[in-house]
Amino acid sequence: MFFISIFGIEQRDKIIAERQNIICPICNAYGRYNVIKSYNYFHAFFIPLWRWNVRYYIQSYCCKKQCALDKDIGQKIDKGEPVEIYSENIRCGEHNGLNICPHCSSHVAPDFQYCPYCGNKI
C-alpha cells in the first residue's frame, strides 16, 4: 500500500471586515480600514486542522498603518457582531520587531530598505 501525505504549517492573513466612510481610529481622518485576522495553522491535504497564534490587526488606508487590535474585539468582529473600534482598542508598533510595508502590508525585517515582496522602498 502506497500513501502520500501532504502536510505542513503555514500562516494566513484573512480580511474579516471592511469599514468604509468612517473616522480612522489611528489618525482620526475620514477614510476606511480593514480588520485582518492572522494565524498559523497545520494542514493535511490542504485542509486546516489546528490553528494557533491568532492575532487581529487594523490596516488603515488613510495613514497607511497596520496596528494590533485587542483580541476580544477582534473575536467579536470575527463572529459578525457589530462593534465600534476606539483608539484605546488598538496598539501601533507591536509587530515583534518587524516593519510593515506601506505598499503591500507584508511583514519585513527591520534592516530591509526595500520590500522583498513588492520591491518598493519602505
Do the Cβ atoms of 56 and 68 come closer than 8 Å? yes
30-86 pLDDT per residue, tens = 888 899 998 989 888 878 888 988 999 888 888 777 888 999 999 999 999 999 888
Give residue limits of the domains in the chain. Answer: 8-91, 94-122
What are 84's three cell numbers? 465600534
Give per-residue pLDDT as tens, 13-31: 899 999 888 888 878 888 8
Residue 84: partners with Cβ closer than 8 Å, 6 or more residues away: none
Higher pLDDT, 96 or 39: 39
- Band of residue 2 on the pLDDT scale cut at 50, 70, 90: very low
Instruction: Please state the three-class secondary structure of the chain as a single string.
Output: CCCCCCEEEEEEEEEEEEEEEEECCCCCCEEEEEEEEEEEEEEECCEEEEEEEEEEEEEECCCCCEEEECHHHHHHHHCCCCCCCCHHHEECCCCCCCEECCCCCCEECCCCCECCCCCCEC
Question: Please, which pLDDT band fits residue 1 given cuts at 50, 70 and 90?
Answer: very low
**Greater confidence, 3 or 44?**
44
Cα–Cα distance, 75 to 4 (Å, whole number): 36
pTM, full prediction: 0.69
